[in-house]
Amino acid sequence: MRKIYDLRNDKEFVKGVQTASLHASDYGLQTGLYGVLGSDDWWKAIEKGDIPIKIQEGILSRLEGYHKAIDPMERFFIKSADKETEWLIPGNRWDDYVVGRRMLLHYVIQRRKNKLFLQDNQESKIIVGIWMQEFDGYIWSDAWVLLSIEAAAYKTPATITDIKIYGDALNHAWFEDKELTHGFRKLLEDGLIRWEDEKVALTEDAQQIIAVIREPRRSFIREIEALCKVFNIQPLEQTS
């Protein structure tokens, strides 16, 4: 995974929180035994475990608030199992967030001076670090292979013949051997498929990715386009 956010580097946010925490009477964070957020003592407390790091991991399911004048707060949502959690995007780097990829968050709980509107507690989740899954070396046919496996292995692991048949039904074309070989290799390397007695099945990670890009239900071409974004496939590769 690639680290896309580090609180240590978000100097503007840290400075704003420190100023509010030290000088404002009704907003900002409470300062306690470990000093103000972002101070040397605060980071030492995290390193020693006095301020515990909490972890949230799952699939980036959606983004909201981008380019909306009435809602400038940019948010992302992480889906893990059947639970979806909401987070504010820190650092203003919207382009780093790709729906369908796995994310890992490290955060800490800090207490606010005041209660937020319509919230019963004074706890804030402060993101310390964010990591985003990366995919390299994928080509357009790999996305086709993944959707064909998903269709063929809907109830039980699929044979290669089944995958070819469903691939033809989806894309009105027959897989070349090199396309299947490349797709199987890449998907296996990244833990998205598994082999069971010469049959293929999707892993839970792959099922989550497809579930996310399929909300709302899309055509095959739109699902391929969404997977191309997930797998970092350049648009020109579709025609190569």
Here the CATH number for the domain that contains residue 149 is 1.10.10.10
In this structure, the answer to whether residues 166 and 189 fall within a common structural domain is yes
Last-in-domain residue among 132, 160, 177: 132
Q: Which residue has the higher pLDDT, 32 or 236?
A: 32
Q: Is the dihedral of CA 40, 43, 44, 50 positive or negative?
A: positive
Same domain, 24 and 111: yes
- Contacts for 228 with CB less than 8 Å, ≥ 6 apart: 140, 143, 235, 237, 238
R_g of the chain, CA atoms, integer Å: 22
Q: Are residues 89 and 204 in the same domain?
A: no
Note whether 117 and 158 are same-domain residues.
Answer: no
* Residues 171 and 110 placed together within one structural domain of the fold: no
Q: Which of 104-118, 191-205, 226-240 has the lowest mean pLDDT?
A: 226-240
- 177 in the same domain as 74: no
Residue 2 CB-density burial (10 A; 0-12 exposed, 13-18 middle, 19+ buried) = exposed
Do 127 and 9 sit in the same domain of this protein?
yes
pLDDT at 188: 96
Domain boundary among the residues 89, 115, 132 is at 132
Classify 155 as helix, strand or coil: coil
- Split into its structural domains, the chain has a count of 2
pLDDT at position 120 is 54
Q: How confident is the model at residue 184 (pLDDT cuts 50, 70, 90)?
A: very high
For β-strands 123-132 and 2-6, DSSP reports them as antiparallel
Question: For 124-164, what is each residue's pLDDT tens digit?
Answer: 899 999 999 999 999 999 999 999 999 999 889 999 999 99
Residue 91's CATH number = 2.40.50
pTM for the model: 0.82
Q: Are residues 108 and 178 in the same domain?
A: no
Instruction: Kindly report, residue by residue over 36-85, the tens digit of the pLDDT.
Output: 999 999 999 999 999 999 999 999 999 887 554 445 568 899 998 778 99
Same domain as 111, residue 145: no
Can you give the residue range of the structural domain that contains 34? Answer: 2-132
Calpha distance 136→212 (Å, rounded) = 20
Q: 42: which 2 tokens?
A: 């605060």
Note whether 119 and 6 are same-domain residues: yes
Chain position carrying tokens 């369908």: 100
